C-alpha cells in the first residue's frame, strides 16, 4: 500500500512583487476569515459553532512577513474558493511560494536512568 502524498501548500506573502508591504495590515486575517467556512465536515451551526480559521487557509507570520498558508486540498473541497485566493494574490501582485510547512521537531523527553 502506497502512502498518499500530502497536499502541497501555497504561501501567499504580504510582500508585493515590487517589494512593498501589502496593506491593510490585517489583510491575512481578512482573507483567511473569508475562507473560514471551508473546512472538513462543513460549517457547524448552533451552540457548538465556534469562530475560527479553516485548516485549508490560515494566517501566519513567517520571518516577520504576514502570510496566508493555503492547502492545495482546498482545490478539491471547493475549486471556486481556491480560485478566489489565487486570484486575490495575483490581482494584488503578492508573492506566492509553493512550500510545505514542516511540523515542529518533537521535544526531548526525560532521559532514562
- Cβ proximity of 69 and 11 under 8 Å: yes
pTM of the model: 0.76
Interatomic CA distance for residues 20 and 39, integer angstroms: 32
Q: Under DSSP, is residue 81 helix (H, G, I), strand (E, B) or coil?
A: helix
With bands split at pLDDT 50, 70 and 90, how would you rate the model's confidence at 8?
Answer: confident
DSSP symbol at 17: T
pLDDT > 90 in the chain, percent: 59
Q: Comparing 25-29, 42-46, 99-103, which segment has the lowest mean pLDDT?
A: 42-46
Residue-level length of the chain: 113
For residue 52, the model assigns a pLDDT of: 79
- Cβ proximity of 3 and 85 under 8 Å: no
Instruction: Indicate whether 13 pLDDT > 60.
Output: yes
Amino acid at each position: 500500500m502506497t502512502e498518499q502524498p500530502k497536499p502541497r501548500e501555497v504561501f501567499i506573502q504580504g510582500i508585493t512583487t515590487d517589494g512593498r508591504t501589502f496593506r491593510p495590515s490585517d489583510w491575512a486575517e481578512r482573507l483567511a476569515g473569508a475562507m473560514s467556512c471551508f473546512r472538513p465536515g462543513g460549517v457547524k451551526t448552533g451552540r457548538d459553532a465556534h469562530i475560527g480559521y479553516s485548516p485549508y487557509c490560515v494566517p501566519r507570520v513567517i520571518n516577520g512577513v504576514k502570510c496566508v498558508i493555503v492547502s492545495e486540498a482546498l482545490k478539491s473541497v471547493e475549486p471556486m474558493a481556491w480560485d478566489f485566493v489565487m486570484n486575490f494574490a495575483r490581482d494584488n501582485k503578492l508573492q506566492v511560494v509553493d512550500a510545505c510547512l514542516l511540523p515542529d521537531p518533537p521535544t526531548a523527553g526525560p532521559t532514562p536512568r
